[in-house]
């Protein structure tokens, strides 16, 4: 039996990024909110630097999984500290 959960507004902790058939353990900082203009929950955050995800191409579509669930996400630009930005819409993985 699957248990549904309400989207939370934040998550800081361990996660798994699945890309190109491989799982990578990472630490993420995620935030999100419901956007009334399009009626969707938008979530975003950063993947900590110094993980195997550092070698993934910017713009890649990935699956992000936490103990609360999983969701499709997009890795975009890296910031000055080498952390990927990760974004998604709909039910978040936290």
Q: How far apart are CA 94 and CA 77, in angstroms?
A: 22
Q: 49-76 pLDDT, tens per residue?
A: 988 887 788 889 999 999 999 999 999 9
Shortest CA distance to 76 belongs to which of 89, 67, 85, 65?
A: 85
Number of structural domains (the chain) is 1
Residue 4 lies in a domain: no
Residue 29 lies in a domain: yes
Profile the chain (94 residues) by mean pLDDT over runs of 10 residues: 59 95 95 94 94 83 96 94 94 92
Q: How far apart are CA 78 and CA 94, in angstroms?
A: 22
Residue 54 lies in a domain: yes
Range list of H helices, the chain: none
Asked whether the whole model's pTM tops 0.95, one would answer no
Residue 2 lies in a domain: no
Domain boundaries, position 73: 10-89
Residue 65 lies in a domain: yes
């Amino acid at each position: 039996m699957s248990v549904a959960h309400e989207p939370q507004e934040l998550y800081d902790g361990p996660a798994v990024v699945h890309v190109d058939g491989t799982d990578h353990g990472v630490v993420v900082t995620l935030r999100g909110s419901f956007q009334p203009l399009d009626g969707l929950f938008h979530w975003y955050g950063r993947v900590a630097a110094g993980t195997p995800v550092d070698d993934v191409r910017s713009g890649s579509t990935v699956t992000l999984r936490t103990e609360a669930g999983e969701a499709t996400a997009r890795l975009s630009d890296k910031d000055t500290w080498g952390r990927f930005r990760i974004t998604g819409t709909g039910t978040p993985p936290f």
